[in-house]
Structure 1
């Protein structure tokens, strides 16, 4: 049995580092992430939260999504509630999916793409609702969502082994348990 501090603190610190990397990538590579009309948004924190949802206890990942969403709102946007709500809604539906579906690599991957779409759409809708931006849905899908989805999919493939090692070290439930049939 893993020590309790590992399962509680190491995932938090890992996600916090991803939170910081989101900002660092945006700040230092912002001009490379904006190509003409298209704009790419790094969502490494989303990637970490989504992956950790399959290996951490539900209560723990929900608290992490609330807290890190609050940090994202207060530090990066200044509008409280948008990322906090979006992260929590996506993680909640991911936990429902996890408990009601036969999981395999394809279903986790396809559902991750769908949940990324839901996440970005929620952020877009919240920002539209409060009048923060006024871009059309077509422009959002073509110039924001599509390039960001591709960018973050590559990052997921790069981060997967690292996140997996961190959770293995913490003593989190291995993913292989999810893929066995009883």
Structure 2
């Protein structure tokens, strides 16, 4: 029986991307969270999209639920939003990926759609439980736009290294 090294690297990378989201938000808090804008780092979504598009991932829904639970417990203190949203992102990515062949533009657009969906639904959930009172227009202009711009830049920087990583470890299997 052959076991992929990606079986071990994928969850580790998922945890690292989850931690990097918090680390970057903390390190660059003065730049990310200003009066006129707020940027949410979504490297975990970039990692998931790249893994689903270029890797052979076992149990992506299970890993997304685990990552969502860690995110909720550590960052929000409310168990539930990311536990529901990350598996939804996995589903949407796999659904969109069935209709397209992976290329830079296709994966970029899938990633931007996923980040838009997760950020907008996160806002909706937090509006429902009165954690935020920002209007939709304010949210789009001050949070969604800057969040997409930041994560677009992160995607462009990470695309080639992550693509090579997932392709290498998905093709090379060891006994």
> How well do the aligned residues superpose, as a CA RMSD in angstroms?
2.0
Give the TM-score, by structure 2 length.
0.88
TM-aligned CA deviation for residue 58 of structure 1? 6.3
2:123 maps to 1:124: yes
C-alpha distance in 1, partners of 2:42/2:130?
23
C-alpha distance in 2, partners of 1:58/1:97?
17
Which string of whole-angstrom CA distances, capped at 9 and with x for unpartnered residues, describes residues 19-64 of structure 1?
Answer: 1111111112101212332011111111111111113346522222
2:143 maps to 1:161: no
- Unaligned residue ranges in structure 1 (runs of 5+): 174-182
Which residue of the partner structure matches residue 11 of structure 1?
A: 10
TM-aligned CA deviation for residue 144 of structure 1? 0.3
TM-aligned CA deviation for residue 168 of structure 1? 3.0
Which residue of the partner structure matches residue 74 of structure 1?
A: 73
Going from structure 1 to structure 2, the CA distance change for 1:172 and 1:39 (only over 3 Å counts) comes to: farther
Say which SS state the counterpart of residue 41 (structure 2) adopts: coil
Which residue of the partner structure matches residue 32 of structure 1?
A: 31
C-alpha distance in 2, partners of 1:124/1:83?
12
Say which SS state the counterpart of residue 52 (structure 1) adopts: helix
**What is the number of residues matched between the two proteins?**
172
Which residue of the partner structure matches residue 42 of structure 1?
A: 41
Which residue of the partner structure matches residue 149 of structure 2?
A: 150
Going from structure 1 to structure 2, the CA distance change for 1:15 and 1:42 (only over 3 Å counts) comes to: same
> 1:53·1:94 contact (CA, 8 Å) conserved in 2?
yes
Give the TM-score, by structure 1 length.
0.85
- Unaligned residue ranges in structure 2 (runs of 5+): none
> 1:69·1:85 contact (CA, 8 Å) conserved in 2?
yes
> 2:69·2:80 contact (CA, 8 Å) conserved in 1?
yes
TM-aligned CA deviation for residue 136 of structure 1? 0.6
Q: Which moved more, 1:104-113 or 1:77-86?
A: 104-113
Say which SS state the counterpart of residue 106 (structure 2) adopts: helix
> 2:72·2:82 contact (CA, 8 Å) conserved in 1?
yes
Say which SS state the counterpart of residue 37 (structure 1) adopts: coil
